[in-house]
Amino acid sequence: MHFLPTLAVVIPLVSAFFIIVFSRSNVIVSKIIAVAGAILTFLSALAMYPVVGDGSRLGIGTTHLSPPLSFFFQADALSFFMGVVFSFCFMLIIIYSLGYLEHGHAKARYLALIIFTEGAMLGIVMSASLIGFLIFFELMTVGAYLLVIHEEDEVAMFAGAKFLYMSLAAGLCIFFGMVITYFIGGRLDFVPGGYIMASPLARYALLAFLLGFGVKAGMFPVHIWLPDAHPAAPAPVSAMLSGLSIKTGAYGLIRVIHDVYGVDVVRSLSLDRTLLVLAVITILLGSAMALQEDHLKRRLAYSSVAQIGYILLGISLLTERAMFGVLLHIFSHALMKGTLFLCAGAIITQTGKKYISEMKGIGYEMPVVMMSFTLAAVTIVGIPPFNAFISKWQLALASLETGQAILVAVLMASSLLNALYYFPIISAVFMPSGAEYRKKSFIRDKVPVSMLWTTALMALLCIGFAFVQPHWPVLVASRIAASLF
Amino acid sequence: MYFTAPAAQAMESSYSVLPLLIVLVPMAGALACGLVRHREHLCHLVASAAAFVAFIMSAILFPLVKKGDVLFAFEKFIGLGLFFRVDFIGLVFALFVSFIWFLVILNSTSFKGQGHSSTRYFIFMLLTLGGCLGVFLTADFFSLFLFFEAMTLFSYVLVVHEQSEEALSAGRKYLFLGIFGGLCLLSAILLLFSQTGTVKIVSSMEALAGLGGVNYLIAILFFIGFGIKAAAVPLHVWMPRAYEFAPSAVNAISSAAMLKAGAYGLIRVYAVLFTPHDVHSGLWGITENLGYAVIWIGIVTMATGAALALSQTHAKRVLAYSSISQMGYILMGIGAAAYLGHHGAVSFAGLTYHIINHAFFKAAMFLMIGAIYLRTKDLNYDRLGGLWRSFPVTAVAFLIAGAAISGFPAFNGYASKTLLHHAIVEALEHRHITSLWFAEKIFVVTSGLTFCYILRLFTTIYQQVEPGRCFTGNRPRAAGGGAHCQQPA
């Protein structure tokens, strides 16, 4: 059992290796390896549940590199939670990619890179120390960069360059923080409750971590790579970036705040106030910018910025209920944003349309895809009884508990703004103006089967996890929240 | 209600799955409609049947509710639980709403033959019915909020049914104001939950009184949330345009049922939540303050609605402002019920009776206007006239409904308006506050204005106002009647 975290990281990396080395020219074999690798990774992540479910940790270490550079894989409940969410969404994204790539180029390269990025992301969540975190963080940057520039046109190259340089800078910020942490504390691993004492030097380290993880998470003011990179990348890669990759930034923040520095230290250095202010600005700015975008994927990218603001808000509140809301939101946003980007990809594949103003009435040509879009959009606005309502409710209650009622107003305003930029899309797609549309009938979508089914499945899961609770994400999340406080 | 509290406590509650079924049957009907969408007559039949079954189930609940509240709990629902509790108030609302909805769906024969949009109409009519009935049957504010949001979202599709530019823009205003109201409601529920630990619909003044300014904030947020739906002035701004461009059947259910859902929410907040448990408690003072504010909002609403109704030139806008005005009566009643506290029986009776009456006569008027629209395709005052020849039965029915809405003796509107008048007089005599004397006078003047605009509506549509100006319509039989009419130039 203890090898499961390592297995979860090694399987995708090995699959990537196999694709590149052995089957570069044979696309069918690459596809099989990629899908098999994704499914096996998901299963190995899921298999950790029985042990991790009751709070213990799984892991093996390697002492082949001398400390402090030794890294080992360890999974506690938080790693398990993130790992399962990541591997599940990756599985669906890779199956979707099989259909998406039908008219694409460099398929083997794409598949190798996407499964390599999965390995890197799982390495991030499964590593037990900051050094492992950083190594896999940089690997993820490389993988994601090569995926962003997959289309190899000018827009993609520019977006990719922006993404690469900012992510490298983020890595350097994290390295800076890491160095100071090692200097103060003498160790780099994650210990529940933290072990660094407060000091001015610690403040600089925390600021550096905030900046580094903030770049990855898309926090204001370093979110500027997001609205370029997400639209330029192919749709499944955007789904991965928005749904999963930005959560690694949030994960890093959670680890540093809870397992390296400790909640009291962070509070005494008032880094939580800084994060709170930045999170509020991120929420409002993301929603406001999304309102004026006509390009669908850019609008979804700004929406991701706003949603990650919710997560950062929850992290900064430093209470158990807020953390519960954060973890639930990580889970539900991965599903919702994944669905939305996969729908955007389906729209581009069938109709080639990228701008919302061109999309009048396409609900009649692609009903399944647009119904999935509707379900995900309704969920993301935070309407009960769907998923994201619960996380929003918990975050709002947590804000009231800490006596900051103004944050409730921020969350409500953000919900209204979300409705303002999602509902007109649904309305234009299904009920466009013009009497000639009233007589139209629905015809089946003309997208490849794998794309259709994965999109629909993700949308159904958005609402499927809503009605009956508590279910396992809620149980695991509440246990994690309790253990962190 | 709390003036019958001693009797209520002797009753026993029962458990039944009926409340959940009453909500689910229309939704199942919507699904069935979707499945038979290619056979339109079947779709209409299924929709009418689903609404009828919902009505029958509400009727079945009656003997159960007589013995005590009917409860049903679904605790695992999204971690917060879905709780139903049907008491007499909720049952009465559910009964007349489901009945009127059934009649409106039965009436909707003109919606067939429009491609997929007719199926869409029936499906969303049923879904909105489910949401609306759910509002009346719930036990706590969170479940109420859930069904309230569902009702708002599903009714958007009905408002934009025509898919014209104006309908879409009116629908957009309706939707976003509705969502804004829903978010205000959610904030109020959050504040309530975090301060008192529960969101059940019970009298909680003891818990709320200690909060100081926050309980006024909760009251205001609840008012904004429900008031947008109940068309309280100044939150009514979505109504006139939404009514003008939505189909008449949608206006009928909106006036009859959805406005009442907002009023129901306000009743639950101001006459239940913000009342103390103990009849002799000193906390009734806060309830009085809130009630006084709501009385005045009701007075302003009724006067504004009536004055604006008198100046409109489009038949549906007149009726929209008329609904706003009548909702003002109801709001005033809610305020008076809270103001008078446990002496508020007459006010409560008046407002509930007026809700039922208004549902019937306003739904009737909108359906009649809908029939007229089918023939004349235009509802502007300067294009209508002399229709009593083409629509004799409708004219008589309109006279009856108009007399009821104006409060003619021997019609139902008379009884409810008199009760409401008694309520405002009692409120005046409760503490002899001068402003309530003015309120009573405004009430009387508005009732007069109501008669004026109804009379104007009637004469414009049905009577021949000027010689030579009338609309003969498409009936071939009208050829003889058209001899003394000229078409407008």
Query: Between chains, do B116 and A438 touch, taking CB under 8 Å as contact?
Result: yes
What integer pLDDT is reported at residue B150 of this predicted model?
A: 93
User: Of B172, B126, B325, B107, which Cα lies nearest the Cα of B236?
Assistant: B325
- Outline where A70-218 has alpha helix (H): 77-100, 107-126, 130-148, 154-185, 200-217
In chain A, residues with a C-beta closer than 8 Å to the C-beta of B168 are 427, 431, 433
Query: Between chains, do A419 and B176 touch, taking CB under 8 Å as contact?
Result: yes
Query: Between chains, do B78 and A397 touch, taking CB under 8 Å as contact?
Result: no
Please give the Cα distance from A223 to B327 (Å, whole number): 49
Reported as a pLDDT band with limits 50, 70 and 90, residue A478 is: confident
Q: What is the pLDDT of residues A209-259, one digit of tens each?
A: 999 999 999 998 999 999 999 999 999 999 999 989 999 999 999 999 998
Query: Between chains, do A419 and B179 touch, taking CB under 8 Å as contact?
Result: yes
B75 touches chain A (CB under 8 A): no
Residue B74 placed within a domain? yes
Residue B33 placed within a domain? yes
- Phi first, then psi: give them for residue B485, nearest 5 degrees: -115, 150
Triad B206, B209, B213: Cα angle to 5°: 160
What integer pLDDT is reported at residue B283 of this predicted model?
A: 77
Better-predicted residue by pLDDT, A143 or B459 = A143
Query: What mean pLDDT is predicted for residues A317-335?
Result: 92
Residue B352 placed within a domain? no
List C-alpha distances in Å: B244 to B251, B262, B323, B389. 9, 20, 13, 25
**Mutation test of the interface with chain B: which of A383, A407, A411, A429, choosing the one with the most B Cβ atoms within 10 A?**
A383
Query: Between chains, do A385 and B191 touch, taking CB under 8 Å as contact?
Result: no
Question: Among positive and negative, which fits the CA dihedral B136, B138, B143, B147?
Answer: negative
What integer pLDDT is reported at residue A70 of this predicted model?
A: 67
Q: How many domains does chain B have?
A: 1
Kind plus residue range of the DSSP H or E element containing B260: helix B259-266
- Phi first, then psi: give them for residue B17, nearest 5 degrees: -85, 0
Parts of chain B with a pLDDT under 50: 1-10, 473-489
In chain A, residues with a C-beta closer than 8 Å to the C-beta of B143 are none
Q: What pTM does this model have? A: 0.90
Residue B386 placed within a domain? no
Triad B223, B226, B229: Cα angle to 5°: 135
- Phi first, then psi: give them for residue B138, nearest 5 degrees: -90, 160
Q: Which domain holds residue B20?
A: 1-139
Residue B351 placed within a domain? no
What integer pLDDT is reported at residue B8 of this predicted model?
A: 46
3-state SS assignment for residue A129: strand
Q: What is the pLDDT of residues A446-455, one digit of tens each?
A: 888 888 999 9
Please give the Cα distance from A335 to A314 (Å, whole number): 19
Residue B295 placed within a domain? no
Residue B181: closest C-alpha in chain A = A416
Nearest Cβ partner for A390 among B79, B149, B184: B79
Q: Is the pLDDT of residue A164 over 90?
A: yes
Residue A425: closest C-alpha in chain B = B172
Q: Is the pLDDT of residue A61 over 80?
A: no
Q: Is the pLDDT of residue A63 over 50?
A: no
Please give the Cα distance from B78 to A465 (Å, whole number): 9
Q: Is the pLDDT of residue A160 over 70?
A: yes
Q: What is the mean pLDDT of chain A?
A: 88
- Phi first, then psi: give them for residue A413, nearest 5 degrees: -60, -40
In chain A, residues with a C-beta closer than 8 Å to the C-beta of B187 are 396, 408-409, 412
What integer pLDDT is reported at residue A413 of this predicted model?
A: 93
What integer pLDDT is reported at residue B56 of this predicted model?
A: 94
Q: What is the pLDDT of residues B297-327, one digit of tens each?
A: 999 999 999 999 999 888 899 999 999 999 9
B9 touches chain A (CB under 8 A): no
Q: Is the pLDDT of residue A98 over 60?
A: yes
What integer pLDDT is reported at residue B489 of this predicted model?
A: 42
Residue B70 placed within a domain? yes
Reported as a pLDDT band with limits 50, 70 and 90, residue A199 is: confident
Residue B292 placed within a domain? no
User: Of A137, A143, A124, which Cα lies nearest the Cα of A8?
Assistant: A124
